[in-house]
Structure 1
């Protein structure tokens, strides 16, 4: 196993793609436009990013009235989110609730060990706790990947979740695994749910929102 102190997953780094750099600047401007007045914060990768397009109708229905902000970036791993947290994206915010979904790209892009990915998630949690001490955190289990429950990628994601769930203390950090809502009874992911067995269709954003609704309502009280 990789030395966790040297693991890529816990080493903050910015991505060099122009769109990513531009989105970072846009999000800093967006935060200013909100006057830092955000009650519900989403942090993550492409699955979270897509609340802005594929899931936009559901976002508007469930979250638009809750002073939300979306800081999901397509393709991000834990180290990219960690860099963003350290470079202004959540400065001066005080959300009631921060929802985090991160790690699937660590498993998929690098095929790194579950331990390294879990360490990256822990680093993200620690950074958020440090910078947003009064925000509750809803840590979501990484969603199922691959069609079959026996696929290596599915097993890797399950192993990550087995480790990460223990970071919840049910005081500041709360764990929620809704993966089953995207599966058939035998554990299959259908292409009508995730066409590429990773990203959700627009209808599944409604499923996602419904699965989180009672927890978000409770934690934002």
Structure 2
């Protein structure tokens, strides 16, 4: 009888293991746990090869439709300290293989035994830290922020979050992934220090690894936006995690619509702030690949949105810098030195972005919103 009870407990799906009801989110949960063990690079390379490579072993996988949370009244009431987002509460997919569920519960029990937090705990912990940072900047003694960078792991790479027990002489070795110090991103913060940390304007990166459009929208609705001391520029880089698997044009349209909704929220809450949308970067080992059409479709929509709203919305695409100069067999190489895992820019890759991004931000910081002549000059200078 005892054996039967234990087996049932192990097989039952657990919200602490499953981020949402589909296989993509379970894969991300696994990646995040491995990141805490310092093993993410291997997973990222493997995932990039399977998700972006020429052979699609998941061609029959069903596509996830983004869940856009738009009830602002409920969201504002939570204000970053309230309930868990609905997409964290999904149980395991009923079609999931029992062995997958069993292994997930084993990992959960092992993690709990080792006093590790679940990925949901880690994500919410990072979000709440960002809310606290925003509240501190909004306080009477706070100065506010001139530039905010919202996004996923690519934006989180900018952060410098060494754990408190790391000696000062070793802190330069740490970067951030899902709020935890992680060596592979360590050199990226040096690029941040060079291009943004010493400027007259004050900047803060607010990326969380693995975020999709829906997660970022929820964060913005729940306390990560400044209420009174509005920034001059908000930079948004999101969408690459929405375009995985089959990378269909349907998912591209939904991703673009979600980013437009983020822009609408930002402009409604921060009417005097410039919004700079950054294109989804190329990913994979070669370009074009099966995700290229979807990525280009999203970027085209973002560019069109910025052209239709020139008074506050802007667009920049740094993707070409990651491709080889000449194609081979009709395809460009995604430079390994700039994107070693076929997804995240290295410090050298982030330098390519920063060297072009910083002048654009500096220009927008000086430019009053709605200045048509300045908008035209900015667009021409890109």
- Normalised to the residue count of structure 1, the TM-score between the two structures is 0.90
How far apart are residue 79 of structure 1 and its match? 0.6
Instruction: Flag structure 1 segments of 5+ consecutive residues without an equivalent.
Output: 1-6
* Separation of aligned partners in 2, 1:89 and 1:216: 20
Instruction: Flag structure 2 segments of 5+ consecutive residues without an equivalent.
Output: 1-64, 71-84, 89-119, 160-174, 176-184, 367-382
How far apart are residue 36 of structure 1 and its match? 5.9
- In structure 2, relative to structure 1, the CA distance for the partners of 1:202 and 1:83 (3 Å cut) is same
| Aligned ranges 1:16-35 → 2 under 5 Å | 16=88, 17-34=120-137, 35=142
SS in structure 2 at match of 1:84: helix
1:155 aligns with 2:293: yes
* Separation of aligned partners in 1, 2:364 and 2:257: 25
- Name 1:216's counterpart in structure 2: 361
Contact persistence 2:217–2:262 (CA under 8 A): yes
Query: What per-residue deviation string (whole Å, max 9, x for no partner) do you get for residues 102-128 of structure 1?
Result: 111111278462111111111111111
Runs of 4+ displaced beyond 6 Å: none
Q: Which one of the candidate residues 189, 192, 206 is aligned to 1:59?
A: 192
Residue-pair matches, total: 215
* Separation of aligned partners in 1, 2:235 and 2:144: 16
* Separation of aligned partners in 2, 1:15 and 1:26: 20
How far apart are residue 150 of structure 1 and its match? 2.6
1:75 aligns with 2:210: yes
How far apart are residue 197 of structure 1 and its match? 0.9
- In structure 2, relative to structure 1, the CA distance for the partners of 1:67 and 1:33 (3 Å cut) is same
1:146 aligns with 2:284: yes
- In structure 2, relative to structure 1, the CA distance for the partners of 1:127 and 1:14 (3 Å cut) is farther
Q: Which one of the candidate residues 95, 102, 111 is aligned to 2:231?
A: 95
- Name 2:314's counterpart in structure 1: 174
Contact persistence 2:247–2:290 (CA under 8 A): no
- In structure 2, relative to structure 1, the CA distance for the partners of 1:84 and 1:14 (3 Å cut) is farther
- Name 1:203's counterpart in structure 2: 348
Q: Which stretch shows the higher mean deviation, 105-114 or 158-167?
A: 105-114
- Name 1:3's counterpart in structure 2: none
1:134 aligns with 2:272: yes
Query: What per-residue deviation string (whole Å, max 9, x for no partner) do you get for residues 140-162 of structure 1?
Result: 11111112223102222112112
- Name 2:146's counterpart in structure 1: 39
How far apart are residue 29 of structure 1 and its match? 1.4
Higher CA-based Rg: 2
- Normalised to the residue count of structure 2, the TM-score between the two structures is 0.53
